Structure 1
């Protein structure tokens, strides 16, 4: 992203927290532009970026570990307002001469803090309030010039500050919704302490991202990895706005899409967008590569690697005057990076599962990547899509993984299993599209309390006994997955009405040959992921 989104800008120093981006998002929710930078950024580099304030994120390490992330001490002498959470609270303490100790009792989850004194950070919040903790280490002695502003029964320094230097830190996490006054604390910091006005909007971002896209590309050609989903569609709209027909949209049909989806994607992008569109029929190549493959990571890597090969082949065909297509644009979003462990901000997270668009290039293939959405959550991508003028039926389209139904079929992929899953999934989408539409009519909200954010079927690699028409069957079950979420980082299973579940189950068993049982997945993320593989 550009380093000059607006006159007001907050830098979030990332110490490896899996939810560092959540901090940036909460700040942007308050109409102040925020950007994540590595925790080891120098004070001189920060000064050159001209931020209005700094926020130090949490992190999984102990401040005394040999490989613990550190911070340039000079950042505390820049005269900028600073807010630190969790690890950011502790690293501030030890860097400025305080002490951090290892507690006998940790705090994980909700905790009650009591304010020790008046504080600008806690303005307009009660003396006692619920916050979200996740720590065992804790500040045991505050640095010179600091005072304790809040504590819990097991954490004597739940918050501290040096108001004169405008440095405020908390052991708890104001950025998570479980901290009941967390957003108020951020408001107090940004507007009362930093004196910001909150004038940044998504429209500002569209203008800046368009200019950045154009500047990065120059006169070169770009191909866009188009899936038809909201992420790649937003990049398509942004690219079309920035460089027009310098960009070619390439849709790789791997045969693993939902029922009738390839036809729908082609219709949308040939009739509604003024872009060059290429539909690559790669169904047979993918079927051969995936034949007999059961391991989900291997599936993802095969699919991702072949995507690069397919795009590179198209790029070679588009070469003119010996000039190769230099850039490939794709709709990578922040949760993809988190789950793949492919952080771009200096921290490290575990690889939960590989994402097809983050698989390394195979030998002989190379593009310079354009990933304008790599710091955005799904709900922010939707907002950006609306600001770019995309129609709502594209912006609010169901999320769908790049590897497609291959990762919703447990075990080896076969034509028979694909046909079963496509037909079952079509019923689920038809029924829950209608259910969501009814809720939208009643509430006027896209994400009302009981609406579904994502829903689909999974086909497990088992069979079970049933009885149909007074005869024994030995057929496959399908598993229904429906979740409520806003950003794909966390999700809760949807509490669907029994009559909706009964209708879905009855239709699938009656209309899809080879299915005799329907189960409902009632696991949240975490501990599960939204997709099964």
Structure 2
């Protein structure tokens, strides 16, 4: 039985980071909104309560029935979670005299406490809260303090319920990983056996059991997620997997041919479908990014359905959905608000009548790559940058035309090729060119021009949930800009995006 940790999300910007840290310690965990608590079964080893942008003192603050898990499972409450337990247990929470945000030092640590094993006084922690726990009930023991926060951590006496006012999941908390490991291993008793090898073995076994002799169709994109999903399924059901690669006319330059060539020696049943004109025709005149996504999703389903009907007796549709897709597509009060629609999440129209199988929907992107490596997938596929499902349509701001696609493909190819030549491609999480809906004045050959602007985007990330812009060398950027302006007709200006996520998203639409 797969043991797991449940993380209840109260809306903190750090919730996904808690999950990442737990996974890094080889313990499986799941994030669930506070108001959609799953049935807590025997495979659950512990519960973590996240922080929140709310104050426990607000009337509309997130509420949860602590009796569902406290005294039954080990609990680690972080920030808002700590304040909530204190308040609900009869303690007092008041606004901080000054907002406590940033680095702090632990001035007192109960070194005998399981949670603080191998963590000493003067350990740096990261605070981010506007309220302070001013009083705790007699049944609580204070197990850590800072100069300004008396109740930096507490334990409910004679129980495995612990709470901390700081954030162990951020790198600024220097012993945060140690604290989480203490909770997971010493308190919850987790075995730390959730690895890529274990995931592959269990997933293939589960797929064999779930799918049996049924036929499955999968839309391959050439990206990491669909490739890893395809190989997992192929190992489970062999030739009963039928892969379809749709050319929507919105791929990178020469990508359709290159992807088909890459898969040629992987033993997959794959069929290519050229549907460029159909997609571009349906996008004509559409400027709104959400309407573009929906149009592309609708046409993709129609094209895919036509191709899938050529395979007799298909029962399942496989998708390369990964965990961030699932998290970002859940909309509840407070946490995990929908950022954008994903046409590979949320079901199919009735006429397809296929069951869904998503072998990667519990994994973050870097975990998908580790699984792919375990499966022996080539680095050229695993190392590819993420590419949006709607393709270049959401990198062309405004309406999409064949001319704009051609211009962007050329500019993007120059950009990506230069990153590879400079040895920078593998250091970047995701890079791409964006066609902006503005024109600017320029001078070429002593003549005035009024042409288009290309924006270059490159970010560093681990799983795409947060990202920072890449500090690419100026000489490389200068070379890329010069080549694009000289070689791509219709472009006379190149700019570089230096925004991070949050507040900006990686894609512009």
**CA contact under 8 A between 2:246 and 2:272: conserved in structure 1?**
yes
Distance in 2 between the 1:239 and 1:207 partners? 12
Gaps of 5+ in 2: none
Report the secondary structure of 2:20's partner residue.
Answer: helix
**Structure 1 residues 309 and 140, CA gap change in structure 2 (3 angstroms):** farther
Task: Decide whether aligned partners of structure 1 residues 341 and 200 sit closer, same or farther in structure 2, where only a CA change above 3 A counts.
Answer: closer
Name the structure 2 match of 1:443.
Answer: none
Kindly report the root-mean-square deviation, in angstroms, between the aligned alpha carbons of the 2 structures: 2.5
Aligned with residue 11 of structure 1, among 2, 6, 24 = 6
Which digits, 9 at most, give the CA deviation of each residue in 1:353-408, with x for residues without a partner?
22232366446344322222223221111111111221111111111001000011
Aligned residues: 507
| Residue 426 in structure 1 maps to residue 413 in structure 2 | yes
TM-score of the pair, normalised by structure 1: 0.88
**Normalising to structure 2: TM-score of the pair?**
0.92
1:520 counterpart residue number: 496
Q: Tell me if structure 1 keeps the 8 A contact 2:5–2:28.
A: yes
Structure 2 counterpart of 1:73: 67
Kept in 2, the 8 Å contact 1:42–1:72? The answer is no
2:328 paired residue number: 339
Alpha-carbon contact 1:222-1:248 (below 8 Å) kept: yes
* Farther-moved stretch of structure 1 (328-337 vs 123-132): 123-132
Q: Which residue of 2 aligns with 1:34?
A: 29
Contact map agreement 2:108 2:146 (CA 8 A) in 1:
no
Q: Deviations over 1:168-201 (max 9, x none)?
A: 1112221122322211211222334345443332
In structure 1, stretches of 5+ residues that fail to align are: 440-445
Structure 1 stretch 356-365 or stretch 392-401: which is displaced more? 356-365
* Equivalent residue for 1:509, pick from 458, 477, 485: 485
Q: 1:103 to 1:216 in 2, by over 3 A?
A: farther
- The 5 Å alignment of 1:453-468 reads 453-468=429-444
What does residue 386 of structure 1 align with? 373
What is the aligned partner in structure 2 of residue 165 from structure 1? 159
Give the conservation status (yes or no) of the 8 Å contact 2:8–2:37.
Answer: no
Q: Is the 8 A contact 2:204 2:236 kept in 1?
A: yes
> What is the CA–CA distance in structure 1 between the aligned matches of 2:157 and 2:369, rounded to whole Å?
39
Contact 1:108 1:134 (C-alpha < 8 Å) held by counterparts: yes
Partner of 2:300: 307
Q: 1:301 to 1:18 in 2, by over 3 A?
A: farther
Query: Segments of 4+ in structure 1 off by > 6 A?
Result: none
Give the Cα separation in 2 of the matches to 1:366 and 1:104: 59
How far apart, CA to CA, are the structure 1 residues paired with 2:262 and 2:185?
43
Contact 1:73 1:95 in 2 (8 A): no
Distance 2:423 2:86 in 1: 49
Write out aligned runs for 1:256-271 (5 A): 256-269=250-263, 271=264
Change (3 A) 1:68 1:282: same
Q: Using the alignment, how far apart are the partners of 2:123 and 2:270 within structure 1?
A: 55
1:215 to 209, 213, 217: 209
Partners of 2:200 and 2:301 in 1: how far apart? 28
For the residue of structure 1 that corresponds to 2:100, the secondary structure is strand
1:372 aligns with 2:366: no
How many angstroms does 1:22 deviate by? 2.8
Partners of 2:223 and 2:37 in 1: CA distance: 38
- Distance in structure 2 (CA, Å) of the matches to 1:97 and 1:492: 42
Q: Does 1:121 align with 2:115?
A: yes
Question: 1:54-453 to 2 correspondence within 5 Å?
Answer: 54-63=47-56, 65-66=59-60, 68-78=62-72, 80-103=73-96, 105-115=98-108, 117-118=110-111, 119-152=113-146, 155-162=149-156, 164-269=158-263, 271-320=264-313, 325-342=314-331, 348-358=335-345, 361-362=348-349, 364-436=351-423, 451-453=427-429
Q: Please say if residues 109 and 120 of structure 2, whose CA atoms lie closer than 8 Å, have aligned partners that are also in contact.
A: no
Quick one: structure 1 residues 212 and 105, their matched pair in 2 at CA, closer, same or farther if it must change by over 3 Å?
Answer: farther
Q: Is the 8 A contact 1:457 1:481 kept in 2?
A: yes
Instruction: Give the Cα separation in 2 of the matches to 1:268 and 1:244.
Output: 18
**Equivalent pair of 1:386/1:395 in contact (CA under 8 Å):** yes
**1:486 corresponds to 2:462:** yes
Kindly indicate whether the alpha-carbon contact (under 8 Å) linking 1:151 and 1:157 is maintained by their aligned counterparts in 2: yes
Could you tell me how far 1:342 is from its partner in structure 2? 4.8
d(CA) in 1 for partners of 2:463 and 2:115?
27
Q: Counterpart of 2:229 in 1: which secondary structure?
A: helix
